[in-house]
Amino acid sequence: MTPETVGSGVIQGGWEYIYAAYALSWVMLIGYTASLWFRAPRGGEE
């Protein structure tokens, strides 16, 4: 580790984590929406 590279503030790569985070967020959002849809009371069932 040289003094030139310490604290440069540049992250190399890491896009896989960003893609995984977005994918996980969408999966969770879709799953939550589906759970609300299936648990919602239906009209006309009296």
pLDDT, tens only, 7-36: 667 777 889 999 999 999 999 999 999 999
Q: How confident is the model at residue 4 (pLDDT cuts 50, 70, 90)?
A: low
pLDDT at 24: 98
CA distances from 12 to 9, 20, 23 (A): 10, 17, 21
Q: Would the pTM count as exceeding 0.85?
A: no
Q: How confident is the model at residue 5 (pLDDT cuts 50, 70, 90)?
A: low
Write b or e for each residue in 1-40: b if 16 or more Cβ atoms lie within 10 A of its Cβ, otherwise e.
eeeeeeeeeeeeeeeeeeeeeeeeeeeeeeeeeeeeeeee
Domain range annotation of the chain = 12-39
Give the pair of three-digit tokens for residue 29. Answer: 């959002």
d(CA 26, CA 1): 38
